[in-house]
Amino acid sequence: MLDIERVRADFPILALTVGSKPLVYLDNAASSQMPNPVMERLLRYQRQEHANIHRAVHYLSETATAAYEAARCTVQQFIHAREAREVIFTSGTTESINLVMHGWGRKFINAGDEIIITVLEHHSNIVPWHMLCAEKGATLKVVPINDAGELQLDVYETLFSDRTRLVCLGHVSNALGSINPVKNMIATAHAHGVPVLLDGAQAAPHLHVDVQDLDCDFYAFSGHKLCGPTGIGVLYGRAELLEAMQPFKGGGDMIHTVTLEKSTYAPIPNKFEAGTPPIAAAIGLAAAIDYLQSLGMDAIAAHEHSLLQYATERLSAMPGVRLIGTAREKAAVLSFALQGIHPHDVGTLLNAEGVAVRTGHHCAQPLMQRLGVAATARASFAFYNTPAEVDALVAGIRSVQQVFA
């Protein structure tokens, strides 16, 4: 069990007030907050270790290089990758997915080929494939959902053909919190000889991720959703796939040799990390992973599941409140709508009560269209949230309803 008061003391931002109200931060699916140990590690790097990495032989560069590459090893262990070189640092999940699209998709997908996605996807796992299909003359096939927000696996199995080249699916839905049965879906894809990319942006902060156990081919996630800095993300890829891919960006540090006639590329992971990388952010991400692991991912998952259950019970009992997304397996996301009240009004009025939620289509417009709504209000929980904050959300919703009564 987590000592929540001790944990909350690590997050000074949680002591803020919004107007006269204490902050209740329930927008963790967009960005989580950063604890003191991560901020202190970032400050130590900037004060005592900052320099550009690789190549130089002076003290600061060697110190920064060692910390940066140690961060790669921390990520490797966190997701249980086979080798540190299978971990590519990017700016976030979006760039990680685009790296696969440009590096693997543009090389290996051709006219008439097919890519499978799901209706649950974030735009970052839809738009790059639209771009590739338009360029190559390929086709997207889409796995539908039931009304609860669960993937229809029987349909998924029928979508494969001899032209299927890639499956791209979210581990956890950012809009609904549905936890997809990705291990079984990966096994199905591999039975057809098709590699799988997982968008793990919403899974890595909440679940124990083991890429070898999942047997996925690519896994993407972001630092700012798991208590790390913005501007840092990860692409895991099987070494043999990464080695076969073409670089996404050209420039310094990703080359082996350059002449005026041609360039040859460095081995992975450097081949995909052109230019000065987000050094401080990578070190901060490693500190965030260390912090989460000090609490225990199982303890985090248990606490968040308890909060989700409590919030689901409270909101389900409220008249005029409709829960959107009722999958049997969910992470700590609760999307809802209030009868007769636009979600943006809900978010604005909740903010007046100090309650921070996300409103809109959550970069999941195809999903909203499938559900028959333009937008939802979304409360998303982290391990530092409390039942009392769920109560504050409920009280805030009642206040919103009274305004429109």
Residues 6+ apart with CB under 8 A from 230: 31, 92, 223, 224, 281
Task: Tell me the one-letter amino acid at 359.
Answer: T
Q: Is 227 a catalytic residue?
A: no
CA distances from 389 to 66, 267, 326, 336, 355 (A): 41, 49, 21, 17, 8
CA dihedral 378, 385, 221, 31 (to 10 degrees): 60
Q: Of the candidates 358, 396, 354, 377, which has an alpha carbon nearest to the alpha carbon of residue 14?
A: 354
Instruction: Tell me whether strands 233-237 and 218-222 are parallel, antiparallel or unpaired.
Output: antiparallel
Q: Please say whether the beta carbons of 208 and 259 come within 8 A.
A: no
Q: Please say whether the beta carbons of 218 and 90 come within 8 A.
A: no
Task: Tell me the one-letter amino acid at 8.
Answer: R
Which structure tokens are listed for 330? 């969910």
User: Do you know the residue count of the chain?
Assistant: 405
Instruction: Tell me whether strands 355-356 and 114-118 are parallel, antiparallel or unpaired.
Output: unpaired
CA distances from 103 to 159, 249, 333 (A): 24, 9, 32
d(C-alpha 363, C-alpha 120), whole Å: 10
Question: Which position among 133, 168, 227, 363 bears the catalytic label?
Answer: 363
Q: Please say whether the beta carbons of 117 and 126 come within 8 A.
A: yes
Residues forming the active site:
363
